[in-house]
Amino acid sequence: MTENKKQNQSKGVKRRKFLKYTGAGLGLMLGGIWLARNPLRRAMLEMGETTILPYQGDTNPLLWLEVRPDSSIVLHSSKVEMGQGTFTGLAQLAAEELEIPMERIRVQHATTQSGNIDGMSTGGSMSIAALWTPLRELAATMRVMLMAKAAEKLSLPPDQVTLKNGVFAAGGKSLTFGEVVEGVTDWDIPKAPPLKPRASFRHIGHPIRRVDLREKVTGAPIFGMDATYSDMLYASVLRPTHIDAEITNVDTGEAEQMPGVVQVVREADFVAVVAESQVEADNARLKIKFDHQPNRNWNLEDVLKAVTVGNGKKTVFQKEGKAVEDISGEGEIIEMEFRSPIGAHAQIEPNGAVASYQDGRVEVKISTQVPKITRAEVAKALGIDQKDVNIIPTYLGGGFGRRLHTPHAVEAALLSKAVGRPVKSFFDRIQEFQNDTFRPPSHHIMKAKLSPEGKVLGLEHQFASGDTFFNSALDPGISATVLRADFGSVRGGALIYDALPHRSTYYHVDLPFATSFWRSLGLLANAFAIESFMDELALKTNQNPVSFRLDSISDENPYGVRAKKVIEACAERAGYRDTVLNGRAMGFAACIDGGSPCAQVAEVSIEDDKIKVHKVTAAFDCGIAVNPDLVKAQVEGCICMGISASMFEKMDLKDNKLSPVIYGAYDMALMKDSPKEIDVILLEGVDYPGPVGEPPLGPIGPAIGNAVRRLTGKRLTELPLDLNQKNTADPA
């Protein structure tokens, strides 16, 4: 290597940092808030609603993009694919700047040992938004690097080389990507060139077919549960069947005698059977005898009583108006209460991992949203260095927030170490339902004061809920102290109707079972309370619910202009009418989540004493839709999953036992319950992509409830929506 080249290389290494975002780590950010407390706390909680957390990871294009000898490109993605279409969107961003046809790019999950580790996990609907600029810069940089090598090989200056449709050409000669990289071992990493202008996009903004489509229609073995090692054993871990109870008097005598059992392993935190097959492991585990020592008795009513406004740690996080009771002058106070239940993730692929431990190193194949955290936890539990742990993320058979917690990776790794062979360890369905990290239940009090003329003098949202972010794997541990309000549970709880004096107060309650991230977090429950109440206020004051909302959002609201456009577009597209026609009514609702406004109209009838949703119209502004077809797929999925969560799903709790523990009994929307028509229109209020996968979950529940209100005169105030529910509010 010449002296000159060495210099270039060291420069190259320094330059690698050029793309690194300066986004402060969450811990640092929280530390800053602590110093200033309340005003900043409020700002932080509101910011948490809309901020895109930047990409925090490696920025070497050579780690991200691999040019294969056949000129195909492999994108090693630090974001995981759980159905949201991230792989396709990221492939579009990279292919755009690399000037290659889409069929030339493949995407696979980056393993933690390949170096491309993402500090921000996959969640919050932020993958495309966070990588929008960094990934295009990486690909553009790669393009310049390839251009330089192509020029060298063609013995022509780089500015004479052209790149079109994945082929370099100059002076009548051409080179493929594979030919350019052949034999090259040293790469100088230059400064990122300017990005392509919007007008020349060939992939971004087009409905490219999913890159994982064929694998998914042919049943390819791509999921965590499909992972194997030769010589692999199967484990079944004993898990709690009761909440807030200790497992005692574990007797594994009979289990040890069961056919196929290789070993019963007792670790500090768990007991597991390891056997030759899954069936044998599960059968033997069911023979383990044990007792439960409950710390206290819990029933659902105890939980509901605890989750009630007034209990727990109080945080006022919007203060742009007085408490409704303190508003002076003549007027009527309207007050309504709402509740949402404990919700299960119920993702179809159970949790689990396949681990292979050998000589102080371990490899784990797993469906995880947090490869970095999974790695840290495994390394810590095994007392080995993080570099000796390789997490190999697989496709996720559903994420929805459930895969942000992966203690089962630690279990599989410890079991592999204990038995000296690779081990596959998975939950069964009953264990999934009993040990989920549930969506916390919530209680809401909505209040407004109306002047004698029907003007809204003040609007207030008070609500109580449990952990979402707090005590999660992502929580640096100080959040509860610093923020008091859990910004996951608060999500969607801020009132967007800033033209009215408004105030929001949150009460954080500790629950006796694990609750955490569930797709859209607090939005589902908060939007239900707020949007049902807004509808009631519109009825009470004889206003059209669409124009009432439009009038209640100011132009100073940072998302106000976009939200109003979305509301108008949705009402117009649906032909919204405030009257019942041929037994069908329309319900309107809207929200702003993560900075992406969404409005929906649900067309509903009552058939055989049941709510029937016929059609849903949605307008959604996520900024640039990198792949409009997949954005629409997310909106459609959110609508149908939202119908499931807001019309059917709920967990019960009796004598410390959560139920149901099986599909069917845990009632979910099926084909028959999904609307025959879903009409989605996309607006583009900003010139960058915003969150997609969660915001459309907000409006659907209240939109249905608002339609039911027009059909029956009854205001349903509890999720899941049930025409026979006891707690309904009197008609206005």
Lay out the site mask for another protein across 411-440 (x = CB under 8 A, - = otherwise): ---------------x-xx-----------
Which of 8, 112, 347, 369 contacts another protein by CB under 8 A?
347
CB of 287 to another protein, least distance (A): 16
Angle made by CA atoms 503, 507, 513, in degrees to the nearest 5? 150
CB of 253 to another protein, least distance (A): 22
Q: Please list, in sequence order, all residues whose beta carbon lies within 8 angstroms of the beta carbon of residue 280, skipping any fewer than 6 positions away.
A: 234, 258, 259, 260, 261
Which of 48, 54, 57, 85 contacts another protein by CB under 8 A?
85
With beta carbons less than 8 A apart as the criterion, state whether 340 and 524 touch: yes
**What is the rounded distance in angstroms from the CA atom of residue 571 to the CA atom of residue 593?**
19
- Choices 339-347, 447-455, 562-570, 580-588 (CB under 8 A): range interacting with another protein: 339-347
Q: Please list, in sequence order, all residues whose beta carbon lies within 8 angstroms of the beta carbon of residue 604, skipping any fewer than 6 positions away.
A: 584, 585, 586, 587, 611, 612, 613, 614, 704, 707, 708, 711
- Choices 261-269, 572-580, 635-643, 724-732 (CB under 8 A): range interacting with another protein: 635-643
Measured CA to CA in angstroms, residue 341 lies from 95, 290, 486, 577 at distances of: 44, 30, 18, 31
Which of 62, 364, 473, 633 contacts another protein by CB under 8 A?
633
Which of 48, 83, 597, 698 contacts another protein by CB under 8 A?
83
Q: Which of residues 272-311 bind another protein (CB under 8 A)?
A: 277-279
The number of beta carbons lying within 10 Å of the beta carbon of residue 168 is 23
Partners of residue 253 on adjacent β-strands: none
- Choices 473-481, 495-503, 506-514, 662-670 (CB under 8 A): range interacting with another protein: 662-670
DSSP state at residue 453? T
257 versus 547: smaller Cβ distance to another protein: 257
Q: Please list, in sequence order, all residues whose beta carbon lies within 8 angstroms of the beta carbon of residue 20, skipping any fewer than 6 positions away.
A: 59
Angle between helix 523-540 and 545-552 (nearest 10): 110
Angle between helix 86-98 and 127-154 (nearest 10): 30
Which of 341, 399, 493, 705 contacts another protein by CB under 8 A?
399
193 versus 259: smaller Cβ distance to another protein: 259
Lay out the site mask for another protein across 39-78 (x = CB under 8 A, - = otherwise): ----------------------------------------
329 binds another protein (CB under 8 A): no
676 versus 726: smaller Cβ distance to another protein: 676
Binding residues for another protein, rule CB under 8 A, total 66
- Choices 152-160, 345-353, 438-446, 524-532 (CB under 8 A): range interacting with another protein: 345-353
508: left (phi over 0), alpha (psi -120 to 50) or beta: beta
532 versus 644: smaller Cβ distance to another protein: 644
With beta carbons less than 8 A apart as the criterion, state whether 342 and 303 touch: yes
Lay out the site mask for another protein across 369-398 (x = CB under 8 A, - = otherwise): --------------------------xxxx
With beta carbons less than 8 A apart as the criterion, state whether 431 and 455 touch: no
Nearest to 43 by CA among 556, 627, 482: 482
CB of 694 to another protein, least distance (A): 13
Partners of residue 438 on adjacent β-strands: 515
CB of 18 to another protein, least distance (A): 35
Partners of residue 586 on adjacent β-strands: 603
CB of 668 to another protein, least distance (A): 6
Tokens for 65?
A: 């993009």
Q: Which of residues 669-688 bind another protein (CB under 8 A)?
A: 669-676, 678
230 versus 248: smaller Cβ distance to another protein: 230
- Please return the burial class of 583, using the count of CB atoms within 10 Å of its CB with bins 0-12, 13-18 and 19+: exposed
205: left (phi over 0), alpha (psi -120 to 50) or beta: left
CB of 151 to another protein, least distance (A): 40
**What is the rounded distance in angstroms from the CA atom of residue 162 to the CA atom of residue 158?**
8
Which of 306, 640, 682, 729 contacts another protein by CB under 8 A?
640
CB of 100 to another protein, least distance (A): 22
Q: Which of residues 188-247 bind another protein (CB under 8 A)?
A: 209-210, 212-223, 225-226, 228, 234
Which of 40, 668, 686, 732 contacts another protein by CB under 8 A?
668
With beta carbons less than 8 A apart as the criterion, state whether 595 and 52 touch: yes
With beta carbons less than 8 A apart as the criterion, state whether 613 and 600 touch: no
What kind and span of H or E run contains 679?
A: strand 677-683
13 versus 662: smaller Cβ distance to another protein: 662
CB of 607 to another protein, least distance (A): 13
What helix, strand, coil percent values describe the chain, rounded to 5? 35, 25, 40
- Choices 355-363, 521-529, 537-545, 633-641 (CB under 8 A): range interacting with another protein: 633-641
CB of 161 to another protein, least distance (A): 37
Partners of residue 450 on adjacent β-strands: 332, 456
Lay out the site mask for another protein across 470-499 (x = CB under 8 A, - = otherwise): ------------------------------
Q: Site residues (CB under 8 A) for another protein?
A: 82-85, 209-210, 212-223, 225-226, 228, 234, 259, 277-279, 345-350, 395-400, 426, 428-429, 629-630, 633-634, 636-637, 639-641, 643-644, 662-665, 668-676, 678
